[in-house]
Structure 1
Amino acid sequence: MTPALDATRQPVRAAAAAFIGTMIEWYDFYIYATAAALVFGELYFPSHDPFISTMASFATFAVGFFARPLGGVIFGHLGDKIGRKKALMTTLMMMGVATVCVGLLPAYSKVGLLAPVLLVLLRVVQGIAVGGEWGGAVLMAAEHAPKGRRTFFASFAQLGSPAGLILSLIAFRAVTSMPHDEFIAWGWRLPFLVSAVLLVVGILIRMGVNESPEFEREKLSKRTVDLPIAEVFRSSGALVAFCIGANTIGIAGVYFTNTFMISYTTQYVGVTKSLILDCLFAVAIIQFLTQPLAALLAEKIGGARFLKLTALCAMISPYPMFILVQSGNMVSMIIGIAIAVVCMASFYSVIAGFVSGVFPVRVRYSAISISYQVCGAIAGGLTPLVGTWLAHKFTGQWWPLAVFYTCLAGISLLSIVVLDALKHRRADAPEALATR
């Protein structure tokens, strides 16, 4: 292949690699989330009270989120100093190895307290890995994108999330059909062990993508900085704060409608595990189809305007969702959850391209990583815990959960409004925000 032909194919290749790589990373992350809702409480945090076991299990799930900012700092620094590609290869290796180790981990009944301790440590490794993954994947796709197509190409990194969710749901739907004793004894481990195959596939695909052309130009011009994260907070602290807020519903919404919804519907609505997994599988397909269409629409009407509209819709969406979910009917539940997910997913598909244009190239990996991952630690990590607490506190009442979801979407809406206003104020800066 000639260099010229290879160069023309690199944008598509980079977008595909971003999609495949993040799909694998999120598959690993989601199977942990599903296992946390279904089995980890029983196996690693045994208790006479299912509420206590579930809370302890979700606490380890939250630990992964709290480790994500550390991953954002570490790999943001590496990505801004030595390159996006090298950082991404490392995060993929870390995630794959940690996930396989979870699948091999003995239960509490076998090794006692060592089991939950090792589970938490592996969860920390997962959190660090995914904390460095997202920013690099977004940038590899966005910085390879043709002129004017940043929003659409960056959305392929976001598309890995629903694809990973679909794979994880397929995997767990298969093993939950096993007899309960076999599922608890060894069946739940299979989705984790399959990650070894996905890891090899991901590495082979990423090896074929060139380094980001924008990073290469920045490196040649010698405009890289010694400590990117310090430069971010020195020059763009306010932007980081509002980018954290802007990501809220895109992150928290996923874990509300998926991870928390599994435990809520099985414990409080009375549906079976297999039924809610089937519902979430159907909704994940809807999300997967929605996101690229949303990115294309956002390119037509403007990113900021589209984000404001979808955040507003997300504020309204939990009320019809809970009304329909309470029925326990599969079709109604799919429609209800899909209403919320379409609004959330449309926002999520566009927010990556929007924030990737906020910061200068020399600190971009660090800036968007820390913004996204701090939000993940707070909004993503705590959402299942807060949801579980509200469901227990207000047993039989869904409206506090709906209000909680509305507040999450409201934070994103307010943050986008402020970021859009700051964009216009900084229009005279040499590296202004991306086109609306």
Structure 2
Amino acid sequence: MASYVGTTLEYYDFLLYGVAAALVFPHLFFVSMDPLAATLSAFGTFAVGYFARPLGAVVFGHYGDKIGRKNILVTTLVLMGTASVLIGLLPTYAQIGMMAPVLLVVLRILQGFAIGGEWGGATLMSMEHAKPKGRGLAVSIVASGGPTGAVLGTLVMTPFSMLPSEEFLSWGWRVPFLISALLMVVGLMIRAKVSESPEYEAARQARVQQAKKAGMPLMTIIRHCKKQVFSGVVGGIAPLAFSTFAAAFLLSYAVTEGHTRTTALVAMTIANVLHIFTTALFGGLSDKTGRRPMMMAGAVAGMVFIWPVFLLVQQGSFSALLLAFVLALPIVQGLMGGAMATWISEKFEAEVRYSGVAVTFQIASTLGAGLSPLIASSLLAASGGTRPEWVALFFGAVCAVSLAAYVFSREQSGNAVDVSADKDELKREPHRANGRDKHAGGGITEPLRPHRKSQAVI
């Protein structure tokens, strides 16, 4: 619950920016451009936060593996909350000129840096407290903090969006960002009471008892886990692309198609409420069916449903718009996203898992979630705003690429993870350290059995 609440608060801050990028920032920070260019620039700053995520993953992943998960989770929460409050206080282009978008970009980078460490830590705190057969449900509950944060953000933003346009753009949009200060305090109170991950503590104690000097986790990942990282990145692109496709691009597209700001926000909020429960549902089902079947079903659904999504938005009715958001978020993204975090986490052992999970997820997040609204907006702009099928083809192709990663990976759901593998034996048998099994290429360990060392598989 502590991981879930903390993730909710951090994603409230991070995704609130996506709503503001669609509705506010083009009018206040990029006013010297035509409307389409201003929107592209606003989504460009949205993407910048994702490019900062891998750096945060490297830094916080390193210290998360060195000093523990709990301390890092407190640090990332403070950084995220501070950046969000400062965005709410930021002067506009009319007040300080070009410094306004520059400062906006700097604060967005700080947000990305913070969440680069947040996701991995929150995921692992939940996974490493769970029983092997219940990891999918435990981690998916934390993952549902993402849509919960989106719901919280849109619920707070919606009443202010109903203000007259002048008042909303003057001060109304700032209040949700300033509320982050209160949410940060709540999150800190919760996370301060959480105990360290028992699996991490077991790995640390084993290292101490064997008098081993701890290496640099990132270097271990680079040397021995390249295939795990690659398959995790490719598989993570589609679910992460669909998350911001709905939260940022589809919201903006709905407004350009004639829906009001308030109507679009309400439809997205309802879809995100459903998304909270489908994420946990599909994550829990992955404990029974395996991660891969759920994610493959989601990728195929994405390739099919992306087409009616655009047709539904163009209908002009609220019910059709709501169905479009439901197809994109609770169904397509939920099927893939509910199992994705556990699927990635199961690829790495505890001593380097924070670094491995954080780096893998954040690279996928940068390529998928960070770039997809910008690419989609650019494709729509290149067609003169009249060919949304170009955008549909792009997202269909993204799903096809991730589907290949799921198909060619090895199912590992529910397996116990070896936290004290003998590194000397790995040196004697480098094919294990590199995951170069003749049948598979790198990944997490097999289930533990007495007197048997783990073997890496995807």
Pairwise TM-score range, normalised by the shorter structure: over 0.9
Deviation at 1:224, TM superposition (A): 6.9
Residue 37 (structure 2) aligned to one of 41, 44, 52: 52
* Superposition CA RMSD, Å: 1.7
Residue 288 (structure 1) aligned to one of 270, 276, 300: 276
Relative distance call for 1:231 and 1:65 in structure 2 (3 A) is same
Residue 108 (structure 1) aligned to one of 68, 86, 93: 93
Distance in 2 between residues matched to 1:70 and 1:87, nearest whole Å: 14
Distance in 1 between residues matched to 2:29 and 2:386, nearest whole Å: 28
Preserved CA contact (<8 Å) 2:65 2:354: yes
Distance in 1 between residues matched to 2:90 and 2:388, nearest whole Å: 36
Secondary structure of 1:299's counterpart equals helix
Preserved CA contact (<8 Å) 1:357 1:433: no
Preserved CA contact (<8 Å) 1:359 1:431: no
Deviation at 1:79, TM superposition (A): 0.3
Preserved CA contact (<8 Å) 1:218 1:224: no
Preserved CA contact (<8 Å) 2:160 2:168: yes
Which residue of the partner structure matches residue 117 of structure 1?
Answer: 102
**Percent identity over paired residues:** 37
Q: Report the TM-score, using the length of structure 2 for normalisation.
A: 0.88
Preserved CA contact (<8 Å) 2:140 2:284: no
Deviation at 1:357, TM superposition (A): 0.9
Is 1:396 matched with 2:386? yes
The letter of the residue matching 1:279 is A
Preserved CA contact (<8 Å) 2:15 2:247: no
Is 1:415 matched with 2:439? no
Preserved CA contact (<8 Å) 1:92 1:199: yes
Residue 185 (structure 1) aligned to one of 170, 194, 205: 170
Distance in 2 between residues matched to 1:234 and 1:386, nearest whole Å: 33
Which residue of the partner structure matches residue 313 of structure 1?
Answer: 301
Distance in 2 between residues matched to 1:317 and 1:159, nearest whole Å: 22
Residue 343 (structure 1) aligned to one of 332, 335, 340: 332
1:69-105 CA distances to partner (integer Å, 9 max, x unpaired)? 0000000001000000011110000000110011011
Preserved CA contact (<8 Å) 1:132 1:369: yes
Deviation at 1:121, TM superposition (A): 0.8
Deviation at 1:419, TM superposition (A): 2.4
5+ long unaligned stretches in structure 2: 412-434, 447-452
Relative distance call for 1:19 and 1:433 in structure 2 (3 A) is farther
Which residue of the partner structure matches residue 145 of structure 2?
Answer: 160
Which residue of the partner structure matches residue 379 of structure 1?
Answer: 368
Which residue of the partner structure matches residue 266 of structure 1?
Answer: 255
Deviation at 1:431, TM superposition (A): 5.7
Distance in 2 between residues matched to 1:300 and 1:147, nearest whole Å: 12
The letter of the residue matching 1:289 is F
Distance in 2 between residues matched to 1:300 and 1:433, nearest whole Å: 20
Which residue of the partner structure matches residue 151 of structure 1?
Answer: 136
Which residue of the partner structure matches residue 11 of structure 1?
Answer: none
Deviation at 1:232, TM superposition (A): 0.1
The letter of the residue matching 2:260 is T
Q: Report the TM-score, using the length of structure 1 for normalisation.
A: 0.93
Deviation at 1:432, TM superposition (A): 4.5
Relative distance call for 1:224 and 1:136 in structure 2 (3 A) is farther
Is 1:77 matched with 2:77? no
Residue 134 (structure 1) aligned to one of 109, 112, 119: 119
Preserved CA contact (<8 Å) 2:73 2:121: yes
Secondary structure of 1:396's counterpart equals coil
Preserved CA contact (<8 Å) 1:295 1:349: yes
Is 1:255 matched with 2:244? yes
Deviation at 1:48, TM superposition (A): 4.4
Which residue of the partner structure matches residue 187 of structure 2?
Answer: 202
- How many equivalent residue pairs? 418
Relative distance call for 1:364 and 1:431 in structure 2 (3 A) is farther
Preserved CA contact (<8 Å) 2:144 2:277: no
Distance in 2 between residues matched to 1:250 and 1:411, nearest whole Å: 11
Is 1:232 matched with 2:256? no
Preserved CA contact (<8 Å) 2:235 2:406: yes
Which residue of the partner structure matches residue 214 of structure 1?
Answer: 199
Distance in 1 between residues matched to 2:185 and 2:169, nearest whole Å: 28
1:161-190 CA distances to partner (integer Å, 9 max, x unpaired)? 000000011111011011111111111000
Deviation at 1:272, TM superposition (A): 1.3
Preserved CA contact (<8 Å) 2:281 2:338: no
Query: Which is further off, 178-187 or 387-396?
Result: 387-396
The letter of the residue matching 1:430 is S
1:187-238 CA distances to partner (integer Å, 9 max, x unpaired)? 1000000011110110111111100001101111116732111110100111
Secondary structure of 1:225's counterpart equals coil
Deviation at 1:147, TM superposition (A): 3.4
Preserved CA contact (<8 Å) 1:64 1:127: yes
Which residue of the partner structure matches residue 430 of structure 1?
Answer: 454
The letter of the residue matching 1:381 is G
Which residue of the partner structure matches residue 313 of structure 2?
Answer: 325
Residue 298 (structure 1) aligned to one of 282, 286, 292: 286
Query: Which is further off, 54-63 or 307-316?
Result: 307-316
Residue 395 (structure 2) aligned to one of 387, 395, 405: 405
Preserved CA contact (<8 Å) 2:233 2:361: yes
Distance in 1 between residues matched to 2:352 and 2:408, nearest whole Å: 21
The letter of the residue matching 2:225 is S
Deviation at 1:401, TM superposition (A): 1.3
Which residue of the partner structure matches residue 353 of structure 1?
Answer: 342
Deviation at 1:306, TM superposition (A): 1.9
The letter of the residue matching 1:263 is S
Secondary structure of 2:371's counterpart equals helix
Preserved CA contact (<8 Å) 1:360 1:431: no
Q: Which has the higher helix share?
A: 1
